[in-house]
Amino acid sequence: MTTATLNPAVAGDAEARLGLRANVRHIGALARRNLLQIKKDPESMFDALLMPIIFTLLFTFVFGGAMFGKGNQQEYVNYLIPGLMAMMGMNIAMAVGTGVNEDFKKGVMDRFRSMPISRSSVLIGKIVVEIGRMMVAVAILLTMGFILGFEVKTSVPELLAAIGLALVFGAALMWIFILLGLSLNSPQAVQGMAMLVLMPLQFGSSIFAPTSSMPGWLEGFTKYNPLSNLADAARLLTQGDMPSNLVQHSLGTSVLWTLLWAFAITAVTAPLAIRKFRSKT
């Protein structure tokens, strides 16, 4: 063939692995695809937009008084908002599972997998966009929180650290949901299974209420529930100090546990998900 070879990736060995730059470009193109999908189907953003509003209102006004005493709403808002930060990550991450599952029902995945791109870039492109959706959800959550009187008693860098921690943990959770999305047959099954994982973790945690009133076995469970660890870390990062009956660990321990969980979840589920993705027919 006489035409000049302009593709640097192919110039040498056709079997050569892709360079980092090519991978980043592919992830960019695939992330753009996911963004365009959201643009075409704005309803798919409802979870990120509405959930933070509904949950802050619901919990503050329905449970706030009961838990912290009438008139102590302010105190509950300061307790709840960091907890909900942990929850947002989990709920948004869930959507990635159904998305991956739906993709496989269509021919477009065959096209991606028969193209000279790294197969994980399809998944990473999705994760990038989901992290963006999480940021939107957290921004709305904080806006709602500030309207209801949420205070950051520390400083901006610490607030950002709390947000960052929530995003890191949310990204780790996504691998679980991607694995579910690749393993189960229908988007409905993925949704159902995700709820099954989500509900006990969510309510068996310190997200909504302090754990000191729970029975001993449950309190023990919440202590090592990563959502509690993340909620506590976000509380201590934004509130500085908390009464010892409201948090279960010190700041350092909470952050450490959260990161350990995020690392462990990714280390176990990401390779499984990528392998499943590669071998899926």
Partner 1 sequence: MTRTNHYPDKPAGGGNAVEVRGLVKHYGETKALDGVDLDVKEGTVLGVLGPNGAGKTTLVRCLSTLLVPDAGSAFVAGYDVVKQPRAIRRTIGLTGQYASVDEKLSGFENLYMIGRLLDLSRKDARRRADELLERFSLTEAAKKAAMEYSGGMRRRLDLAASMIGHPAVLYLDEPTTGLDPRTRNEVWDEVQRMVREERVTVLLTTQYMEEAEQLAGELTVIDRGRVVAGGKVDELKAKVGGRTLQIRPVATADLHPMAGAIAEAGLDGVSGARVDEATGRVLVPILSDEQLSGVVSVLGARGFTIAGIDTKLPSLDEVFLAITGQKMSDSVPEQADEKKLEEVAA
Q: How far is the CB of 244 from partner 1 (least distance, A)?
A: 51
Q: Are 166 and 83 in contact (CB under 8 A)?
A: no
**45 interacts with partner 1 by CB under 8 A:** no
Q: How far is the CB of 128 from partner 1 (least distance, A)?
A: 15
Q: Are 114 and 194 in contact (CB under 8 A)?
A: no
Structure tokens belonging to residue 135: 């940021």
Q: Are 130 and 219 in contact (CB under 8 A)?
A: no
Q: How many residues does the chain have?
A: 281
Q: Give the type of residue at 126.
A: K
HEC readout, 108-162: HHHHHHCCCCCCHHHHHHHHHHHHHHHHHHHHHHHHHHHHCCCCCCCCHHHHHHH
Neighbours of 11 (CB within 10 A): 11
Q: Are 235 and 258 in contact (CB under 8 A)?
A: no
Out of 57, 115, 160, 196, name the contact with partner 1 by CB under 8 A. Answer: 115
Site string for partner 1, 163-192 (x = CB under 8 A): ----------------------x-------
**114 interacts with partner 1 by CB under 8 A:** yes
Q: How far is the CB of 239 from partner 1 (least distance, A)?
A: 42
Give the residue with the Cβ less far from partner 1, 153 or 280.
Answer: 280
**32 interacts with partner 1 by CB under 8 A:** yes
Q: How far is the CB of 125 from partner 1 (least distance, A)?
A: 10
Give the interface segment with partner 1, choosing from 37-45, 46-54, 134-142, 199-207 (CB under 8 A). Answer: 37-45
**7 interacts with partner 1 by CB under 8 A:** yes
Which residues of this chain interact with partner 1, rule CB under 8 A? 1, 3-11, 14-17, 22, 25-26, 28-30, 32-33, 36-37, 40-41, 106-108, 110-117, 185, 279-281
